[in-house]
Amino acid sequence: MCLYKVVATRQLQVLSSSTQRLGLDEMTVEQQTRFAALTKRQSEAVIKTLDGLQKLMEEREFGEQLRGVLTEFNERSYEVLANPILIEETLVRFTELKREFVGCYEPRFSFVLAPLVQLLAIQVQNFGFAIDFATRRVQLPIEPWLGYAGFDPEEFELFLQEAVSSMRHIKDQEIVMVGGNTNAGKSTLLNRLFGGQLTKSIIGLGGISAESSPELFKIGNEYKSQTIIPLALMEQTKEILFCDCPGFEDYSTATEEAVSALSTYLVTKTAKSVKTLIMVLPVTAFSDERGRNLKDAFRTITRFLGSNLGANQDSILFVITKAPSTTTSEQVGFAISQLLDSVQDIEVRQMLTLMLDHLDNIFVIDALDTSSQTQDQTKALFSKIMESRGIATDDFIYVPENASKNQLQGFISRVLEDTRVLMTSYFDLQNHIQRSENRLTVLAEELEEVTSSISKIRSGKLDKVSEVSELARVSEEIRSKLVSLKKTLEDEEREVASFEDEFATKKTELDTLNTSEELEHKELIYPNPPGSVANGTDGFFMLERHRHEFEYKGNPFTRVEVYCEGITHPDVGNLFHVAQVPGGFFRGLFGGTSIEELKTAFQQARVNVHAILHGPYDEFTETKSDPKKGEYEGTYRTLHYGITPKVTITVYGEKRHHPEHSKRITFISEEMVTLQKDIDKKEQDVGNIKSEIKRLKQQLVEVSSDIDKYIREQGTRKVELETEETDIQCFLRDAREQASQKKKEIESLQRQFSNVFFLLGCVDVSQVFSIPEATLDAFQEQYIRFNNTPLPMFRNSSVRVPHFEAQTRTARPRRRGRGRRR
């Protein structure tokens, strides 16, 4: 019920939205006509199948199955068709849906479902037309041609070179195009028409193949045609130029598909006109259940002529091969009529109808038969060809499929862009070279002026010569003073070095004599005897300090180690004393002690308790030390109650290794002090001399700067000019080499892709492959600059006008002329 909403209506929405986006006013008359024709065909297809769909949906089981397919199709269609530019992906999805419809076949519904499947196939084809129509005005982004799987640019260029070579000689010639499916006997027929001697040969399983001598047109073997590129040869007797076009499935790779479609299209656009279009069909095409050959033949015709098919039906001839020579056209017509009654495939029916309406254009020729009937049919075919009014090349619209078209678009765009970029880079280099040469001329003049100026200054020919001479005299005096000061400085530094050597010698001797080692002088223990316990009074813990001094006159020490070893004894007795504090507590109860005394006593008790609980209980602190005099003083602190005090004090001192050299050591030390004073004084004198030398040098620099001012400035300028001159010369050398290399690259690129440039002169690539006009104009601009001549480009928009407009323009002046004669 809803198929027209899912397929046809959605298709019309795509076309309508594309048209609204572009604007009807912007469409040409041809585009408006094409859009109207597409819309009409859509509506007719829906009307023809509506009744069948109604009956089909009434069947419960099959109706549910079909509705499920349609529902999925409906859901996916809006997703797929949301962007009408994605033609490749969309067509693949449509093909999958078609396969699902085919899977729904049941014998009792086949006669109803068959038109439905064919309608879907037509929708796919029309959808391709719609996308092509929409994208002619909305430019697709150019995809890099290297990104297409299966498309080999080198193989494409090789095929294109062969295609261009084979079609150069058909330019401005009338041709007869011969098309047919693989194994239809097309090449065998052409060899017969050219007078070749054909023989039968037996192949595996009893099959029969043809062999021709000479073999002008390649005869396929093992089901693979050798025709990838149209082959055009002149039949000498009738002087008819036959063009053997690739079969519908003669290509196996994307490159072959692209070349096949493009070269066939080039044939139609290069030739003056196409005399006739001959479709070769094997007799088995009429017994094939699926009607593959008939369907492919009709698709080939529609791909060639499109909407121009109706105006050129009389120029389409049909040759039936591999049939008995006794077969007549009446028999063929009867067979076609019978087949029309039983076949339901729309495309097959259209093909059969076209043949039935033009029985005079059907010829039965068995290329392997030499009977008189076959010869008569061959003569009749030649006569029909000669009588045909021909097909204008403008009526042919055969272009590659969208996938191949995009590949060719990317390939051609990349060739044009790479060539244009190289040319632009070449001209940029030429501009840099010209600017550098101009700058080099200016540099030569400036360099000559600078050299002359330096020569005049050095020869004293300037007005400031006397001032320069006076400054030179002052400079000479300063140099003399510097020489004298430098000599004095050398003497002073030599004397300082002598003092330092003597100082180092004495220090070495002193270090040898004045050596010692550290030894333990004495170990002292406090108190003595150790372990005595201090006793307190009245229950208080009293903190006592004892001062002790150790003196070692004339026997200095280096360090003292103190190790406290007191032992704390917080026993029950001590705690009892703590519990009874403060003393005289009971006296206070009877008024013998004041409240203030009690507070003070309790505070002291808290201090004592904290001391015994937290320490330190045993400590010896250094208060004064003079190792050289042998004096050491410290304070020992401990508690009265609960501790056995002890501290061990170890004194360390030096032991002289050479006490007998004490006087010598003292004498050397005094001499070293005197030497150090002399060294310090000499170093101060050296510093003063250096400061004076520095001052004179600075003065010399200031005086010399005035003398050398012009020479230095001019010399620097000369170096800069010479450096710039050298850099420019190096740049010019490299730039000229690069320009020469780029020129060779451009020329090599033009030679390599000469066939692409030849293609620009045969086909309006802006229309066929959607190459932007701006891209072609930019390329042409650079091409003219490089080659001094424009590249021939075929531009429909500016060179050619539609056929009916040309007739109108040529007819009107004649009518006006006749009016004036009257």
pLDDT of 51 over the 50 cut: no
pLDDT over 70, % of the chain: 56
pLDDT tens-digit readout, 258-285: 777 777 777 887 788 888 999 988 888 8
Provide the percentage of residues in the chain whose pLDDT is more than 90: 7
pLDDT tens digits for range 559-589 = 888 887 766 555 433 443 443 444 444 444 5
pLDDT, residue 30, reads 62
Give residues with Cβ within 8 angstroms of 395, minimum separation 6. Answer: 305, 308, 311, 312
What's the one-letter identity of residue 255? T
> Which tokens belong to 32?
């408006």
Assess contact for 152 and 258: CB atoms under 8 A. no
The answer to whether 656 and 582 are in contact (CB under 8 A) is no
Of 147-156, 288-297, 810-819, the range with the highest mean pLDDT is 288-297
Closest CA to 161 of 252, 272, 262: 262
pLDDT band at 689 (very low <50, low <70, confident <90, very high): very high
Angstrom distance (rounded) from CA 615 to CA 666:
50
- The residue among 645, 642, 644, 646 whose CA lies nearest residue 539 is 642
Residue 505: predicted pLDDT: 92
- Asked if the model's pLDDT at residue 501 lies above 90, the reply is yes
- Across the chain, mean pLDDT equals 68
Please say if the pLDDT value at position 732 is more than 50: yes
Range with the poorest average pLDDT among 34-43, 186-195, 446-455, 654-663: 34-43
pLDDT of residue 222: 38
Torsion of CA 666, 668, 673, 675, to 10 degrees: 160
What is the pLDDT at residue 484?
92
Confidence at residue 124, expressed as pLDDT on a 0 to 100 scale: 46
Question: Residue range 187-213: average pLDDT?
Answer: 48
Least confident of 118-127, 139-148, 267-276, 490-499: 139-148
pLDDT of residue 374: 76
pLDDT at 342: 83
Give 511 or 131, the one with higher predicted confidence.
511
Rounded to whole angstroms, the Cα distance separating 284 from 292 reads: 10
More confident residue, 512 or 156: 512
Q: What is residue 289's predicted lDDT score, i.e. its pLDDT?
A: 65
Residue 672 token pair: 């070293």
Residue 513 pLDDT class (50, 70, 90 cuts): confident
Lateral strand order in the sheet of 557-564: 516-526, 647-656, 557-564
Identify the pLDDT of residue 157. 64
Asked if the model's pLDDT at residue 176 lies above 70, the reply is yes
Pairing of strands 647-656, 516-526: antiparallel
Per-residue confidence at 380, pLDDT binned at 50, 70, 90? confident
For residue 109 the two structure tokens come to: 């519904």
User: Region 398-418: what's the mean pLDDT?
Assistant: 72
Query: Looking at 204-218, 253-267, 613-627, which range is the least confident one?
Result: 204-218
Of 122-136, 452-466, 496-510, 656-670, minimum mean pLDDT range: 122-136
Q: Is residue 592 pLDDT above 70, yes or no?
A: no
> Higher pLDDT residue, 612 or 148?
612
Return the residue matching tokens 């499929």: 401
Phi and psi at residue 614, to the nearest 5°: -115, -10
CB burial of residue 545 (10 Å; 0-12, 13-18, 19+): exposed
Given pLDDT bands bounded at 50, 70 and 90, which one contains residue 688? very high
CA distance 332 to 330: 5
Specify the pairing of strand 240-244 against strand 174-180: parallel
pTM more than 0.75: no
Is the pLDDT score of 154 beyond 90? Answer: no
pLDDT above 70: residue 614:
no
When mean pLDDT is compared across 248-257, 456-465, 598-607, 809-818, the lowest value belongs to 809-818
**Average pLDDT over every residue of 501-514:** 88
CA–CA dist 317, 325 (Å, integer): 18
Statement: residue 228 has pLDDT above 90: no
Say yes or no to pLDDT of 686 above 80.
yes
Distance CA 283, CA 31 (A): 39
Helix (H) or strand (E) holding 282: strand 273-282
